[in-house]
Structure 1
Amino acid sequence: MNWKLFITACVSSALISFPQNIIGCGGETDPYDYYISFFNQHISANKNFKPFYYTNAYFLYDSDEPTSVSDILAKEWSTYCNNSVTEKDAYQFVNKYALKDLTSLYYNIEKKAPLKIPDSVKRNSMTNYFIKTGDTEGLGYIMFAKQVEPFVYLESEWDAEKRDIAKMTKLIKNGNQLYTAAKRYFQVKIRIPNFAP
């Protein structure tokens, strides 16, 4: 017997025997797909029982990531602000506040324009950080990310969306200008060309 053929067959068999390699992807589980199980995985509301499911592939039951991207982002911004900002305030500032409020804050810091923001934004520790430090670069980064966000986030991965190429091109040019002026890293402008058709 040819040893090369035998080794190739053994390695190929080993590689395709893992469940994450042979399970196809799809939007939802097939309701007509029936398999034998002692317990339904949704019978218990307590997720602490998950390690005791009667399967080796229990990691395939989850469709959600173990941690939220927004929570990770809030922690990174809290670190960026020298931990003088709580993660809760960073989460609110980056994910919840409107672009117009951040723009008002930016013009207040840069041009001493009157600050027209709601009290909830004014009391936020991240707002106070930007006012105290005058860090327009970090604030500008968040503002640019909020402008780019509609173009890099997909409502549905199955349906193609119409893209506003003119606006995306303008944002790319704006990102290039911000990138050349930035003293610290600037990742958002690198992302948007990947989503332009």
Structure 2
Amino acid sequence: MEQMERTKVLTSEIAGLLSDVRETISLSRKLLQDAPRDLPAKDPVKLVIPEIGFFTWFVAGNLFHGDSLFAALHGTTVEDLAAGVAVEDLICGMGEHDQPRVAEGFYQAIKTGERCCLEYMTYPDGIPRNVILTGCCLRNDQGLASFFCGIVVEKKAAIVFGSSEPFQAFCDAALSLAQERGNLLAARYLKSALHTTALSSN
């Protein structure tokens, strides 16, 4: 009975690890401009592990606050964001062709309350950065727009992770997570699965 419970826990751990890997692969496909919708069986699995920046826009006061990554991507400083930066100032730092679309996206998001996802270029220190912003506008108890909260990530090139065999790539990624999180038993079983895969492919 004790062995059965241990097996259930292990199965749950591995399922959780693989779920995290699937979510990462799903996110990476959205972030990669040239990623195919359906990866051919022999192609490597492409993963992008983006660093995430956080922001809050106090709509009534028209002040953006954000963390260091948000500051770096928008050519401002953490000190300025702590005091608050106007949305107009942020938009002025974006690509000229992106500015009207981003302004309209913000307007619609505030008006409808629906989540929005915007992609635009910024040029902090003259270096082009491809930014993806996603967020939504929250309302107070009177139904008025209050805070617009969200995240930003930089769209970067893919990191090729794993091999051309999809199952092996998933197990490789899950094994890395298991080792990072100290799930030694899960790591041992995943190593065994990888060993079996390697034998069967020879």
TM range (shorter): under 0.3
Larger RCO: Structure 1 or Structure 2 (Cα < 8 Å, ≥ 6 residues apart)? 2
> Higher helix proportion, which one?
1
> Higher strand proportion, which one?
2
- After TM superposition, the score normalised by the length of structure 2 is 0.26
- After TM superposition, the score normalised by the length of structure 1 is 0.27
